[in-house]
Amino acid sequence: MERIVDPAAVALWGRAGTVESAEGIVDLAPDTEDEWLLAENEAAVVAEAGNLLLMPDRVRKLNDKDADWTRYARQLTERALAVKTATALRNKEQMFDTGGKLYEVCVACHEKYYIPFLEEDESTAAPRAK
């Protein structure tokens, strides 16, 4: 995640929507063909990462009935491919909307698998020096 998904997803989300600045509202969407191609490539990386998460040694199961990992990985791929389609169409609004849906699956998965890991890690970590 840290080396493949996060850099691609963060860069991709940084290319959609608007931001208000001192100069006014700034459109973050790609302006040039090169920027659109970068966004399309980033979406492809995130989509393929969903496939990597389905490899047998990467599947996480908390119990036999837990299929969330597989569902989240498949949704990651499906939603990233929807973003890739939007970038291929050079459609800023569709890119923003599909990027939001991609973000939703990332948050849901992190809530179940990443945040508990961080909390567990903090509870077993040695006290920090002040």
Task: Quick: pLDDT tens for 67-76.
Answer: 889 999 999 9
Q: How confident is the model at residue 44 (pLDDT cuts 50, 70, 90)?
A: very high
Element (H, E) at 22: none
Domain 5-124, CATH: 1.20.120
Q: What is the pLDDT of residue 2?
A: 81
pTM for the whole thing?
Answer: 0.83
Domain ranges of the chain: 5-124
Output DSSP code: residue 130. -
DSSP characters over 50-69? HHHTTSTTT---SSTT--HH
